[in-house]
Amino acid sequence: MTKTVWVFPGQGSQALNMGMELLEVPCAKAKFSQAEEILGWSVIDICQSNIDTLSRTLYTQPCLYVIESILSDLLLEKGHRPDLVAGHSLGEYTALYTAGVFDWATGLHLIKQRAEIMDNTSGGLMAALLNFDQAQLAQVIKDTPNVVLANDNSPAQVVISGTPEAVKTVMSQVKAKRALPLKVSGAFHSPLMNAAATQFQEVLDTATFKTAVCPVLSNVDPNPEIDADILKARLSQQMTGSVRWREIALQLPENGIGKVIEIGPGNVLTGLVKRTVEGLILVNIRNLPELENYSS
Protein backbone atom coordinates (compact mmCIF):
# COMPACT_ATOMS: atom_id res chain seq x y z
CA MET A 1 0.00 0.00 0.00
CA THR A 2 1.21 3.51 -0.86
CA LYS A 3 2.51 5.45 2.14
CA THR A 4 0.73 8.78 2.55
CA VAL A 5 1.41 12.15 4.11
CA TRP A 6 -1.41 14.51 5.07
CA VAL A 7 -0.48 18.19 4.80
CA PHE A 8 -2.40 21.22 6.05
CA PRO A 9 -2.15 24.75 4.60
CA GLY A 10 -1.75 28.01 6.50
CA GLN A 11 -2.64 31.65 5.94
CA GLY A 12 -3.11 32.56 2.31
CA SER A 13 -5.25 29.52 1.51
CA GLN A 14 -8.46 30.96 2.98
CA ALA A 15 -11.44 31.52 0.66
CA LEU A 16 -14.91 32.92 1.14
CA ASN A 17 -17.55 30.29 1.99
CA MET A 18 -14.88 27.69 2.66
CA GLY A 19 -16.23 24.75 4.64
CA MET A 20 -19.84 25.87 4.56
CA GLU A 21 -21.00 22.60 2.98
CA LEU A 22 -19.82 20.92 6.21
CA LEU A 23 -22.87 22.35 7.96
CA GLU A 24 -24.76 19.39 6.46
CA VAL A 25 -22.74 17.06 8.71
CA PRO A 26 -23.99 16.82 12.34
CA CYS A 27 -20.55 16.28 13.93
CA ALA A 28 -19.15 19.22 11.95
CA LYS A 29 -22.03 21.47 12.96
CA ALA A 30 -21.27 20.61 16.60
CA LYS A 31 -17.63 21.61 16.09
CA PHE A 32 -18.70 24.99 14.68
CA SER A 33 -20.85 25.56 17.78
CA GLN A 34 -18.02 24.54 20.10
CA ALA A 35 -15.67 26.87 18.23
CA GLU A 36 -18.04 29.80 18.76
CA GLU A 37 -18.03 29.14 22.50
CA ILE A 38 -14.22 29.15 22.58
CA LEU A 39 -13.63 32.06 20.20
CA GLY A 40 -16.51 34.33 21.11
CA TRP A 41 -17.37 34.77 17.43
CA SER A 42 -18.79 32.58 14.64
CA VAL A 43 -16.52 30.85 12.13
CA ILE A 44 -19.61 30.40 9.95
CA ASP A 45 -20.33 34.14 9.93
CA ILE A 46 -16.70 35.11 9.24
CA CYS A 47 -16.35 32.63 6.38
CA GLN A 48 -19.45 34.13 4.77
CA SER A 49 -18.58 37.79 5.43
CA ASN A 50 -16.00 39.32 3.07
CA ILE A 51 -12.47 38.42 2.06
CA ASP A 52 -10.87 41.35 3.91
CA THR A 53 -12.40 40.27 7.21
CA LEU A 54 -11.63 36.60 6.63
CA SER A 55 -8.05 37.45 5.70
CA ARG A 56 -7.37 39.26 8.97
CA THR A 57 -4.96 37.10 11.00
CA LEU A 58 -7.29 37.25 14.01
CA TYR A 59 -9.95 35.35 12.05
CA THR A 60 -8.00 33.47 9.37
CA GLN A 61 -6.07 31.21 11.70
CA PRO A 62 -8.98 29.84 13.78
CA CYS A 63 -11.20 29.48 10.70
CA LEU A 64 -8.59 27.43 8.84
CA TYR A 65 -7.93 25.22 11.87
CA VAL A 66 -11.63 24.50 12.42
CA ILE A 67 -12.31 23.61 8.79
CA GLU A 68 -9.12 21.63 8.22
CA SER A 69 -9.59 19.66 11.45
CA ILE A 70 -13.19 18.78 10.59
CA LEU A 71 -12.12 17.49 7.15
CA SER A 72 -9.30 15.54 8.81
CA ASP A 73 -11.69 14.00 11.34
CA LEU A 74 -14.11 12.96 8.61
CA LEU A 75 -11.29 11.37 6.64
CA LEU A 76 -10.19 9.44 9.73
CA GLU A 77 -13.80 8.34 10.29
CA LYS A 78 -13.76 6.85 6.78
CA GLY A 79 -10.86 4.64 7.90
CA HIS A 80 -8.01 6.50 6.22
CA ARG A 81 -4.77 6.97 8.16
CA PRO A 82 -1.68 9.06 7.38
CA ASP A 83 1.84 7.68 7.68
CA LEU A 84 3.21 11.19 8.22
CA VAL A 85 1.67 14.62 8.81
CA ALA A 86 2.92 18.16 8.26
CA GLY A 87 1.46 21.64 8.12
CA HIS A 88 2.61 25.00 6.80
CA SER A 89 2.93 27.52 9.67
CA LEU A 90 -0.60 27.60 11.15
CA GLY A 91 -1.28 24.25 9.46
CA GLU A 92 1.24 22.58 11.78
CA TYR A 93 -1.36 22.89 14.54
CA THR A 94 -3.87 20.87 12.51
CA ALA A 95 -1.14 18.34 11.78
CA LEU A 96 -0.38 17.98 15.50
CA TYR A 97 -4.09 17.62 16.28
CA THR A 98 -4.47 14.96 13.58
CA ALA A 99 -1.50 13.10 15.07
CA GLY A 100 -3.21 13.11 18.48
CA VAL A 101 -0.65 15.40 20.12
CA PHE A 102 -3.39 17.52 21.72
CA ASP A 103 -7.18 17.52 21.77
CA TRP A 104 -9.28 19.69 19.46
CA ALA A 105 -10.23 22.33 22.03
CA THR A 106 -6.62 22.70 23.20
CA GLY A 107 -5.56 23.31 19.61
CA LEU A 108 -8.23 25.96 19.10
CA HIS A 109 -7.37 27.70 22.38
CA LEU A 110 -3.71 27.82 21.30
CA ILE A 111 -4.59 29.20 17.87
CA LYS A 112 -6.98 31.79 19.34
CA GLN A 113 -4.16 33.18 21.48
CA ARG A 114 -1.61 32.88 18.65
CA ALA A 115 -3.89 34.74 16.23
CA GLU A 116 -4.65 37.52 18.72
CA ILE A 117 -0.95 38.02 19.52
CA MET A 118 0.12 37.98 15.87
CA ASP A 119 -2.76 40.26 14.84
CA ASN A 120 -1.51 42.84 17.34
CA THR A 121 2.02 42.70 15.94
CA SER A 122 3.02 45.53 13.62
CA GLY A 123 6.03 47.23 12.12
CA GLY A 124 7.32 44.51 9.82
CA LEU A 125 6.95 43.42 6.23
CA MET A 126 6.91 40.13 4.34
CA ALA A 127 7.35 39.59 0.62
CA ALA A 128 7.22 36.60 -1.73
CA LEU A 129 9.88 36.11 -4.40
CA LEU A 130 9.22 33.87 -7.40
CA ASN A 131 11.78 32.46 -9.84
CA PHE A 132 14.76 34.23 -8.30
CA ASP A 133 18.53 33.87 -8.33
CA GLN A 134 19.16 31.67 -5.28
CA ALA A 135 22.84 32.51 -4.82
CA GLN A 136 22.16 36.21 -5.17
CA LEU A 137 19.28 36.06 -2.67
CA ALA A 138 21.40 34.27 -0.08
CA GLN A 139 24.17 36.85 -0.44
CA VAL A 140 21.87 39.89 -0.29
CA ILE A 141 20.10 38.55 2.82
CA LYS A 142 23.51 37.91 4.40
CA ASP A 143 24.58 41.48 3.64
CA THR A 144 21.31 43.11 4.75
CA PRO A 145 20.55 43.43 8.48
CA ASN A 146 17.02 42.88 9.83
CA VAL A 147 15.75 40.53 7.11
CA VAL A 148 15.58 36.72 7.01
CA LEU A 149 14.34 33.88 4.84
CA ALA A 150 10.95 33.27 6.48
CA ASN A 151 9.45 30.58 4.21
CA ASP A 152 11.65 28.30 2.10
CA ASN A 153 8.69 26.99 0.13
CA SER A 154 10.20 25.49 -3.03
CA PRO A 155 13.24 25.95 -5.28
CA ALA A 156 11.32 28.70 -7.09
CA GLN A 157 9.40 30.39 -4.25
CA VAL A 158 10.44 31.91 -0.95
CA VAL A 159 9.14 34.53 1.47
CA ILE A 160 11.39 37.05 3.19
CA SER A 161 10.54 38.84 6.43
CA GLY A 162 11.93 41.78 8.36
CA THR A 163 11.79 45.54 8.70
CA PRO A 164 10.10 47.31 5.76
CA GLU A 165 13.36 48.98 4.78
CA ALA A 166 15.33 45.73 4.79
CA VAL A 167 12.70 43.77 2.87
CA LYS A 168 12.44 46.49 0.23
CA THR A 169 16.24 46.51 -0.08
CA VAL A 170 16.29 42.78 -0.82
CA MET A 171 13.39 43.11 -3.27
CA SER A 172 15.23 45.86 -5.17
CA GLN A 173 18.55 44.03 -5.35
CA VAL A 174 17.54 40.42 -6.14
CA LYS A 175 16.59 39.48 -9.68
CA ALA A 176 13.21 37.72 -9.57
CA LYS A 177 10.35 37.13 -11.97
CA ARG A 178 7.98 38.52 -9.34
CA ALA A 179 8.40 40.12 -5.93
CA LEU A 180 5.18 40.72 -4.03
CA PRO A 181 4.65 42.32 -0.60
CA LEU A 182 2.25 40.23 1.48
CA LYS A 183 -0.80 41.60 3.30
CA VAL A 184 0.16 40.59 6.85
CA SER A 185 0.31 42.58 10.06
CA GLY A 186 3.93 41.85 10.97
CA ALA A 187 7.24 40.22 10.09
CA PHE A 188 6.15 36.65 10.86
CA HIS A 189 8.78 33.89 11.15
CA SER A 190 11.55 36.36 11.93
CA PRO A 191 13.39 37.63 15.04
CA LEU A 192 11.04 40.65 14.99
CA MET A 193 8.46 38.26 16.46
CA ASN A 194 10.55 37.61 19.59
CA ALA A 195 8.29 39.60 21.91
CA ALA A 196 5.18 37.93 20.50
CA ALA A 197 6.82 34.50 20.78
CA THR A 198 7.69 35.15 24.42
CA GLN A 199 4.09 36.14 25.12
CA PHE A 200 2.76 33.06 23.33
CA GLN A 201 5.20 30.77 25.14
CA GLU A 202 3.29 31.42 28.37
CA VAL A 203 0.17 30.06 26.66
CA LEU A 204 1.99 27.11 25.12
CA ASP A 205 3.48 26.13 28.49
CA THR A 206 -0.02 25.47 29.85
CA ALA A 207 -0.93 22.99 27.08
CA THR A 208 -0.55 19.23 27.50
CA PHE A 209 1.14 17.45 24.60
CA LYS A 210 1.05 13.66 24.05
CA THR A 211 3.16 11.27 22.00
CA ALA A 212 2.08 11.48 18.37
CA VAL A 213 0.30 8.49 16.84
CA CYS A 214 2.19 9.13 13.60
CA PRO A 215 5.39 11.11 12.95
CA VAL A 216 5.18 14.89 12.43
CA LEU A 217 7.46 16.89 10.14
CA SER A 218 7.82 20.27 11.85
CA ASN A 219 8.37 23.64 10.19
CA VAL A 220 11.61 24.33 12.05
CA ASP A 221 12.87 20.72 11.82
CA PRO A 222 11.66 18.52 8.95
CA ASN A 223 12.82 15.25 10.51
CA PRO A 224 9.94 12.91 11.53
CA GLU A 225 9.20 13.00 15.27
CA ILE A 226 6.62 11.59 17.70
CA ASP A 227 8.06 12.68 21.07
CA ALA A 228 5.70 15.13 22.81
CA ASP A 229 8.41 17.26 24.40
CA ILE A 230 10.38 17.59 21.17
CA LEU A 231 7.27 18.50 19.16
CA LYS A 232 6.34 21.13 21.75
CA ALA A 233 9.86 22.57 21.71
CA ARG A 234 9.75 22.76 17.91
CA LEU A 235 6.39 24.52 18.02
CA SER A 236 7.75 27.07 20.49
CA GLN A 237 10.38 28.03 17.89
CA GLN A 238 7.90 28.29 15.04
CA MET A 239 6.81 31.91 15.40
CA THR A 240 10.36 33.23 14.97
CA GLY A 241 11.85 30.37 12.94
CA SER A 242 11.78 29.76 9.20
CA VAL A 243 9.20 27.47 7.59
CA ARG A 244 11.38 24.84 5.92
CA TRP A 245 8.73 23.52 3.54
CA ARG A 246 11.12 22.69 0.69
CA GLU A 247 13.05 20.42 3.07
CA ILE A 248 9.81 18.84 4.27
CA ALA A 249 8.96 18.00 0.65
CA LEU A 250 12.41 16.50 0.12
CA GLN A 251 11.91 14.31 3.19
CA LEU A 252 8.83 12.64 1.73
CA PRO A 253 10.52 10.21 -0.70
CA GLU A 254 13.25 9.64 1.90
CA ASN A 255 10.49 8.29 4.18
CA GLY A 256 8.88 6.15 1.48
CA ILE A 257 5.95 8.52 0.89
CA GLY A 258 4.20 8.02 -2.43
CA LYS A 259 1.08 10.16 -1.97
CA VAL A 260 0.48 13.68 -0.66
CA ILE A 261 -3.02 14.65 0.49
CA GLU A 262 -3.55 18.35 1.11
CA ILE A 263 -6.48 18.83 3.47
CA GLY A 264 -8.01 22.30 3.46
CA PRO A 265 -8.89 25.09 1.03
CA GLY A 266 -6.70 25.72 -1.99
CA ASN A 267 -3.88 23.69 -3.49
CA VAL A 268 -0.81 25.68 -2.42
CA LEU A 269 1.06 22.86 -0.69
CA THR A 270 0.58 20.22 -3.37
CA GLY A 271 1.77 22.84 -5.86
CA LEU A 272 4.92 23.48 -3.83
CA VAL A 273 5.60 19.75 -3.43
CA LYS A 274 5.15 19.25 -7.19
CA ARG A 275 7.81 21.91 -7.87
CA THR A 276 10.22 20.28 -5.43
CA VAL A 277 9.81 16.50 -5.80
CA GLU A 278 8.86 14.43 -8.85
CA GLY A 279 6.79 11.29 -8.99
CA LEU A 280 4.43 11.73 -6.03
CA ILE A 281 0.67 11.28 -6.27
CA LEU A 282 -0.97 14.60 -5.32
CA VAL A 283 -4.52 14.77 -3.95
CA ASN A 284 -6.55 17.76 -2.75
CA ILE A 285 -9.43 17.46 -0.28
CA ARG A 286 -10.74 21.01 -0.13
CA ASN A 287 -14.37 20.34 0.68
CA LEU A 288 -16.94 17.70 1.55
CA PRO A 289 -17.62 16.49 -2.04
CA GLU A 290 -13.90 15.88 -2.64
CA LEU A 291 -13.67 14.04 0.68
CA GLU A 292 -16.66 11.86 -0.13
CA ASN A 293 -15.26 11.04 -3.58
CA TYR A 294 -11.81 10.13 -2.25
CA SER A 295 -10.82 6.49 -2.07
CA SER A 296 -7.25 5.36 -1.41
CB burial of 242-255 (b: ≥16 within 10 Å; e: otherwise) equals: bbbbbbbbebbeee
Does the annotation count 109 as an active-site position? no
Of 189, 190, 218, 242, which is the active-site residue?
189
Q: How would you classify residue 89: left for phi > 0, otherwise alpha for psi between -120 and 50, otherwise beta?
A: left
Write down the catalytic residue from 89, 161, 218, 242. 89
What's the CA gap between 187 and 116, in Å, rounded?
A: 15
Q: Is 185 considered catalytic here?
A: no
Residues, the chain: 296
What are the Cα distances from residue 214, in Å, to 105, 202, 225?
20, 27, 8
Residues designated catalytic: 89, 189
